[in-house]
Structure 1
Amino acid sequence: MTKKKWITFFLALLFAAVSLLTPATTYASAKKIEQGTVLKNIKKSGKLVVGTSADYPPLEFTASENGKTRYVGVDIELARQIAKDMGVKLVIKNMSFDSLLVALETGKVDMVISAMTPTAERKKSVAFSKIYYKPSGEFFLLNKKDRDKYDTISKLKGKTVGAQTGSIQYDEIQSQMKSSKAKGLGKINNLVLALQSGKVQAVLMEELTAKAYAQNNKSLVAVRSDIKDSQAGNAVAIAKGQNDLVAQVNKTINKVKKDKLVDKKFLPAAAKYMKTTQKNNTFAKYIPYFFKGIWYTIVITIFSVLIGIILGTLLALMRFSKNPILHWVAVCYIEFIRGTPQMVQILFVYFGIGYLISNLSAIVAGIIAIGLNSGAYVAEDIRSGIDSLPKGQMEAARCLGLSRVKAFRYVIIPQAIKNIWPALGNEFITLLKDSSLVSVIGVSELMYQTQLVQTSTYRGVLPLFIAMIIYFIMTFSLTRLLNYFEKRMKRND
């Protein structure tokens, strides 16, 4: 085939892949938003799955009880009340704020309760309940030494102001502080860390949250801003077409507002947890968090490695195949995977393929995504190892009566593995570290647990340092193990 024909073939293959995915995802999407299905599924399963970003005290945050994570706060109490009124069990899914509406639209959660304002833009994608809480205003969270230096919009001219990505505060910075630079991050604790390290000069937050961080960190202070508050209040986000579920939630909200439960019950409960955290905020109580994260990281790494090796070997053999279709399918896959960010791949597997497999768990999606990504790199490692062997090895094997497949299996691959073992070792070590990326979809691996500790302790640097040391210990141990097997291979030569 000529070069032009190969290009045409590649484009046709890419178009076919897109064509196959589009109707499948469209069909599944339509199925998700079928009117009245969400409430029926909640009643049938006996579970109400609520999405939140639990780094926004006192509305939603985490506390440690007997070494276990407990989700607490005003919004969590509201979620519990809704589940109680429905007669079902509450399940909390903690993820980045900017992923919540995607999770809602793809059916990963039944509703979102996360200090979310029902803006006109959001209403185009999802439905909202009645307002259950109206914040009292926007505050700047500042380093205490900058209290009088950056307490107004004019003083922050030319400076960087942080806000949670996808939040109303981020939009307010862009619209009302055009002379300042907006810095968006998915987690509030990362914004606080950026503030303390001087990456941003201020963080815009709702009053209660800003005061919560200031009360728990003596180096910070909360100052009322001169931002024109554009918040209509907080509401529960629900998928479109679920009028019966909206009505059910509104029924609970009406009761909450009538009995003034936010002020009388929800806020005092949140304050109690925050006060307890201040008194008993030692890192020793968070050791189980790190052990849980290590366990999940190891599980993800092991299964991803298995997928990567099997898929990588298959793709490498396909590249050497004389069948042009198999060859170019492997080439297209490898180039596509290596040419797209792994974070995007993880999100696509969880939310995109989740269209078709509604019960696909976050950890399984993470393992699949990392394994599929690793397979492309392992394939190239194996290919380079095979190419490094003298051509006479294949010819000698064929002369001995071995088929092409058996020659690869018994002669070529074993020799190639010895040559590429260091490269494979580097891939496995990289894969262990890349497992941290699945924290974005709520998998409880080490980085996810580190973020929980940051949120619970109101400290940013120390949990990260501990996580860094743990990753080093794991990668160093894996390196020693790989070196051991490499030496064994050399002795067997």
Structure 2
Amino acid sequence: MKKKTGLLLLLLMFLLTLVGCGAPKDEATQRSGAKLATLEDLKDKRIGILLGSVHDAYVAKTFPDATVLQYKSPSDLVLAVKTGKVDAAFYTHETLLEILRGDDEIGFLAERIFSVPIGMGFKKGNDELRGQFDLFLRQLKESGVFDDMVRRWILDGTTQMPDIENPKTNGVLTVGIVSDKGMPFTIVKDNRMIGFDVEMAQRFAAYLGKELKLSDMEFGALIPAVSGNKIDQITSTLMITQERKKQIDFSEPYYELGASAFALKKNLAQAQGETNAAVAVSGWQSLADSFHNNIIREKRYLLLLDGLQTTLVLSVSSSFFGTVLGALICFMRMRKNRLVCSSAKVYIALMRGTPVLVLLMLIFYVAFASVDVNPLIAAVLAFALNFAAYVSEMFRTSIESVDKGQTEAGLAGGFSRLQTFVYIVMPQALRQVMPVYKGEFISLVKMTSVVGYIALQDLTKASDIIRSRTFDAFFPIVMVAVLYFIVSWSLALALDYAGAKLDPKQQRKTRRDAL
């Protein structure tokens, strides 16, 4: 029955994908009937901005009566405009130029409203590396290579990375970057990052003779990462502001980025360019096109496979270590020693009262600030600590639910306390705890979707990268939802099998059926 229900749910999710992919894209309408003609028209509208960007302060000052919605990635920002979640949004002019080349649904409301210089970000006090980059930048401009980079990436829109020789004999240069920043600066193509920023980082690494390690993370996590020594520098079109100068040091500016506002063309008073006539296609054809665009093109399935592997390793490892630690905490919690018991109570209260994302950031950026730790190890530790707090209470309540008379009977029968627990109490406790444990384990699998904040590419991050290239509002999200469902369902079946093996009644029934 459970298998049939799971299959029906899976079929339903695929049907939702089909309906979503085939839905007309002009359903979202502007909340008011008036068209947008100037920036002044945004004074009481819903405005989208990128989380942590300089557009935040500008919008807050210029449109105090507007509703401001912050999005964590450029792809989310563009999709918010295209699906009508916001009336307009602000983003980098150069990146929007590239987006508009392949999308005739959106257009500029205002171009280059203001411009801000960009530079590389370094930890305060790291004057040596900052000085090396400034010298490298001056030489790059004098040689004409920098102008060539601007022409190829920004003006011509190339997507070909040059071959750069690098001896890689002087250590490693770890660079924080945002893979879905968008062209011409950073995108993922054929499962590797390319763009103006990537080439700049490669040339600087070659200049230093160091191996380049690109650390892909959320934009809002870049400054904490460089301040916490997790990366050596930020290379992600980081605009130089006075507020940011208080937290990090900047290199000499190497470019000036404009800020532009964009919206759906149908909501603009004077749409720039005609949109293509809508072509009616069947739902199945739309699904097939979305599948090819999101999965096959540029080998994007490799991103999903890598993300799936990370999610599985993280989920299984965290649950294993969390279960072992939870058993230990449960043992401490049930001790009569007041100090030991109180310590366990404090741990449980602390872990259950702290959001797992906050715990993840604290461990990676604070606890391991001076340690070069693999992000996967930090993530396993964070989720295991969180999982252990819940597991310990599950174990305690299930153990206490076993009648004490059975313990007394075991002791009277000649068993030691350990033997009584192992052979009498624990099998009954495990049988009772399995349903609750399974639910908590599934929650753990879903919670791993936040690890993109520490530069881990899981399923959710893979979806973000794909959406940054396709700007498909439906297929990547529902596709990843289906994958999470399959992973959770498969692991739940494995736990059900383990639970059946622990159930004496089920084992006796199995033996009778075998006879």
User: Shorter-chain TM-score: what band?
Assistant: 0.5 to 0.7
Q: Is contact 2:28–2:84 with CA below 8 Å preserved after alignment? A: no
CA 282–315 in structure 1, closer or farther in 2 if over 3 Å, else same: closer
Shift of 1:419: 0.7
Q: Is contact 1:144-1:219 (8 Å) kept? A: no
Distance 1:401-1:330 versus aligned 2 partners, 3 A rule:
farther
Q: Which residue of the partner structure matches residue 330 of structure 2?
A: 316
2:340 is the counterpart of 1:456: no
2:65 alignment partner, SS class: coil
Q: How much does 1:152 deviate?
A: 2.8
Aligned to 1:237: 121
Give the Cα–Cα distance (whole angstroms) in 1 for the partners of residues 108 and 395 of structure 2: 56
Structure having the larger proportion of residues in helix? 1
Q: Which one of the candidate residues 380, 383, 391 is aligned to 1:378? A: 391
Question: What's the CA shift for 1:183?
Answer: 1.6
CA distance in 2, matches of 1:204, 1:151: 15
Would you say 1:362 and 2:362 are equivalent positions? Answer: no
1:250 and 2:264 equivalent? Answer: no
Partners of 1:452 and 1:267 in 2: how far apart? 25
Contact 2:47 2:66 in 1 (8 A): yes
Aligned equivalent of 2:352, options 338, 343, 346: 338
Specify the code of the residue in structure 2 equivalent to 1:258: E
Q: Which residue of 1 aligns with 2:50?
A: 164
Answer yes or no: is the 8 Å Cα contact 1:163–1:183 preserved in 2.
Answer: yes
Alignment length (residue pairs):
349
Counterpart of 1:247, as a letter, is G
Contact preservation (8 Å) 2:38, 2:109: no
5 Å matches for 1:76-475?
149-225=35-111, 227=113, 229=114, 231-259=115-143, 261-269=145-153, 271-273=157-159, 283-284=295-296, 285-356=299-370, 358-475=371-488
Q: 1:318 to 1:459 in 2, by over 3 A?
A: same
Distance 1:361 1:266, change over 3 A: farther
* Alpha-carbon distance change, 464 to 151 in structure 1, aligned in 2, over 3 angstroms: farther
What do residues 432-458 of structure 1 show as CA deviations (whole Å, max 9, x unaligned)? 111111122111211111111112323
Q: In the aligned structure 2, how far is the partner of 1:145 from the partner of 1:382? A: 52
- The change in CA–CA distance for 1:255 and 1:363 in structure 2 (over 3 A counts) is same
CA distance in 2, matches of 1:233, 1:144: 35
Check whether the contact 2:75–2:467 (CA below 8 A) recurs between aligned residues: yes
CA contact 1:143–1:220 (8 Å) conserved in 2: no
Gaps of 5+ in 1: 1-141
Assess, with a 3 A threshold, how the Cα gap between structure 1 residues 261 and 239 changes in structure 2: closer, same or farther: same
CA distance change for structure 1 residues 381 and 389 in 2, over 3 Å: closer, same or farther? Answer: same
Distance in 2 of aligned mates of 1:266 and 1:195: 29
Deviations 1:254-274 (A, max 9, x none): 233334544422451461126
Deviations 1:305-350 (A, max 9, x none): 1111101111111111111111111111111111111110111111
Deviation by residue 1:52-102 (Cα, 9 ceiling, x = unmatched):
xxxxxxxxxxxxxxxxxxxxxxxxxxxxxxxxxxxxxxxxxxxxxxxxxxx
Distance of 2:387 and 2:101 partners within structure 1: 44
8 Å Cα contact 1:163/1:191 also seen in 2: yes
Instruction: Work out the CA distance in 1 between the residues paired with 2:388 and 2:313.
Output: 17
Q: Taking every aligned residue pair, what percent have the same amino acid on both sides?
A: 26
Distance 1:243 1:486, change over 3 A: closer
- Structure 2 CA distance for partners of 1:260 and 1:221, relative to 1, 3 Å: farther
Q: Secondary structure at the match of 1:389?
A: coil
1:492 is the counterpart of 2:507: yes
> How far off its partner does 1:225 sit?
4.9
| Counterpart secondary structure, 1:233 | strand
Pairs within 5 Å for 1:52-91: none
Cα 1:195/1:332, change in 2 over 3 Å: same
Q: TM-score, normalised by structure 2?
A: 0.63
Contact 1:213 1:458 in 2 (8 A): no
- The Cα shift of 1:151 comes to 4.7
In the aligned structure 2, how far is the partner of 1:409 from the partner of 1:456? 55
Equivalent-residue separation in structure 2 for 1:371 and 1:258 (angstroms)? 52
Kept in 2: contact 1:143–1:221 (CA 8 A): no
Question: Is the 1:312–1:377 contact (alpha carbons within 8 Å) kept by the matching residues of 2?
Answer: yes
> C-alpha separation between the residues in 2 aligned to 1:202 and 1:308?
45
Cα distance in structure 2, aligned partners of 1:484 and 1:185: 41
SS in 2 for 1:359: coil
In the TM superposition, residue 297 of structure 1 has moved relative to its aligned partner by: 0.8
Q: 1:437 to 1:203 in 2, by over 3 A?
A: same
What is the aligned-residue RMSD (CA, Å)?
Answer: 2.9
How far apart are residue 366 of structure 1 and its match?
Answer: 0.8
Spell out, residue by residue over 1:108-137, the C-alpha distance to the aligned partner (whole angstroms, 9 max, x if none): xxxxxxxxxxxxxxxxxxxxxxxxxxxxxx
Unaligned residue ranges in structure 2 (runs of 5+):
1-25, 160-182, 191-291, 509-515
- SS of 2:158's equivalent in the other structure is helix
What is the deviation of 1:143? 11
Residue 282 of structure 1, CA deviation: 5.5
How far did 1:175 drift? 1.5
Measured in 2, the distance between the counterparts of 1:467 and 1:393 equals: 48
- Return the offset for 1:154: 1.9
> TM-score, normalised to structure 1's length?
0.65
Note the C-alpha offset of 1:395. Answer: 2.1
1:380 and 1:334 map into 2 onto residues whose CA distance is 8
DSSP 3-state at the match of 2:57: helix
Q: Is the 8 A contact 2:36 2:109 kept in 1?
A: no
**Equivalent residue letter for 2:158:** K
